[in-house]
Chains A and B, each alone.
Chain A
Amino acid sequence: MNAIETNNLTKYFGAVAAVDRLNLTVREGELFALLGVNGAGKTTTIKLLSGLLRPTDGTARVLGYDLKSELPEIKQRIAVSPQETAVAPNLTVRENMELIADIYGGDRGRVLTMLEELGLKKVEICRAKTLSGGWQRRLSIAMALVSDPKLLFLDEPTLGLDVLARRELWKVIAGLKGKVTVILTTHYLEEAEALANRVGVMGGGSLKICGTPQELMEAAGTDRFEDAFIRLAGGEMP
């Protein structure tokens, strides 16, 4: 089964097509990077697939469920780590995790597991707002994982982080490979290249090309991922 299948998924804001007849397939278990410049439609795609926005047109199946008619089933099984850090500022790291665990009705046992797996144990009693940007992102991802989702959306997880924090977070994300299907959006080429099993290049709201980083470089006739991206996206650089 595919984790995601969209069929001409479209979202208009007024006259602007933020997502334009998108046909995207993400396989179960893979780490899929949605790569594109700012304004390409990545965030809107995630919002559509997580039920935050209603599509103007087209259909989608998420984890086998129909996006329009079976949204509650989908919501119980997915998790989103939004583009901006989304934590409750005055709650501690642990309380943030417990809140999400409770909302999904899952067991709190996973809170401890996730705290340990993401290296958050040592800051568990710190208020979220006192953490640095990198650690807040880490918490944000941990909160998304605590409900044991089948499908995880990470929207620009390393945006605005310094190089060290980014590399640290990469390790965390790479550690998710094989455990959960991950859709990661990014406009950092090296991020997509380093982490993803497959990459979809988005531009102007639709998918330009899709494949492993190797396949994309072959399709563009170059051995540098950056050149491949420029040729395939056909747009200016981020």
Chain B
Amino acid sequence: MKRALCFAKRNLKEMVRDPLSLFFGIAFPILLLVLLSIINGSIPEEAHMDLFEMQKLAPGIGVFSLSFIALFAALLISKDRGSSFLLRLYTSPMTGSNFILGYLLPFLPMAAAQMIVCFGAAVILGLPLSGNLLLCIAVSLPITVVNIAIGLICGTCLSEKAVGGVCGALLTNLSAWLSGIWFSLDLIGGAFRTVAYVLPFANAVDACRAAMDGRYADILGTLWIVCAWAVGLLTVAIVIYTQKMKQK
């Protein structure tokens, strides 16, 4: 356990010292928030368009920004695999669970920090401060685990270059389009909506919005789907990592 924590500490440092993670994790969501609140200000009230109101926007962008966690995790792991650093650690007394925990843990505080910064910016932009914000951060834990697991899987299987494409471009687009942040999924309906609600992203956004609005009874109705994805993907990630580690 002590070994896992030492390794986690290293991974956290490795991430926060990378300007890429600070930009996409912290600066980019704030930029989006500011931009969309300006757009929202210019939408006439008669349009009855509430999607970009801070109350809905902040949880959406918060959850969206967490998909970059997958990119950070995948980049970290694929870089470690590409260099001999991981090889060196494989000759040390570290065990498989030391590695997995060490790769998993640092992204939890990172995700919390991203949510806090995002909500902080939202409060400055007019979101009322309330205890529901804390609940929102707690509700974002399962989708964080989903993203970490995706990162673990991609980082273990793909090269550093491929990771940029799959996690950086593909996944973030997928999570953006299928999340209901930028347009209402109910308006589109059909197969698109069905697929979106099978996947975890839109469910996570809805759960977070319910928490934000104080509709506590509505949280679990969608959150359980995210939790199921989190457990499933994490299991897959652990199996794949353990298998790959044996082949080294």
Q: Which residues of A contact B (CB under 8 A)?
A: 50-53, 72, 75-76, 78-91, 95, 99-100, 102-105, 127, 140, 143-144, 147
Contact = CB atoms under 8 A, between A and B. Distances in A.
Nearest to A77: B93
A52 B85 contact: no
Given A102-B3, A105-B2, A80 B13 contact: no
B14 A88 contact: yes
Interface string B13-39: 110011000000000000000000000
Given A91-B10, A144-B88, 19 more contacts: A52-B87, A52-B91, A75-B93, A79-B91, A80-B88, A84-B83, A86-B84, A86-B88, A87-B83, A87-B85, A88-B85, A90-B13, A95-B10, A100-B92, A103-B3, A103-B7, A104-B93, A127-B17, A140-B88
Contacts, number: 73
A204 B19 CA distance: 46
A103 B14 contact: no
Contact of A82 (B10, B14, B18, B84): B84
A75 B91 contact: yes
Contacts of B91: 50-52, 75, 78-80
B94 A86 contact: no
Interface of B is mostly: helix
A121 to B, nearest CB: 21
B48 interface: no
B198 interface: no
A138 to B, nearest CB: 15
11 contacts: A52-B87, A52-B91, A82-B88, A85-B84, A86-B83, A90-B17, A91-B10, A99-B7, A103-B92, A104-B93, A105-B2
A49 B41 CA distance: 67
Nearest to B10: A99
Of the four ranges (under 10, 10 to 19, 20 to 34, 35 or more), the interface on chain B belongs to 20 to 34
B6 interface: yes
B88 A143 contact: yes
Nearest to B94: A103
Contacts of B94: 103
A83 B6 CA distance: 24
Contacts of B79: 89
A139 B91 CA distance: 17
B89 interface: yes
Given A103-B3, A103-B6, A105-B2, A86 B85 contact: yes
Contacts of A80: 87-88, 91
A89 B84 CA distance: 11
Contacts of A82: 84, 87-88
Contacts of A144: 88
A103 B11 CA distance: 14
B24 to A, nearest CB: 16
A104 B94 CA distance: 8
Given A103-B6, A103-B7, A89 B92 contact: no
Contacts of B89: 103
Interface string B183-215: 000000000000000000000000000000000
Nearest to B5: A102
Contacts of A95: 10, 13
A73 B94 CA distance: 12
A84 B84 CA distance: 6
Nearest to A128: B85
B248 A72 contact: no
Interface string B115-132: 000000000000000000
A91 B87 contact: no
B90 interface: yes
B2 A102 contact: yes
A53 to B, nearest CB: 8
A143 B10 CA distance: 15
Interface string B203-238: 000000000000000000000000000000000000
Contacts of B87: 52, 80, 82, 86
Contacts of B85: 86-88
Nearest to B92: A103
Contacts of B90: 52
Contacts of A104: 92-93
B13 A91 contact: yes
Interface in B67-94: 79, 83-85, 87-94
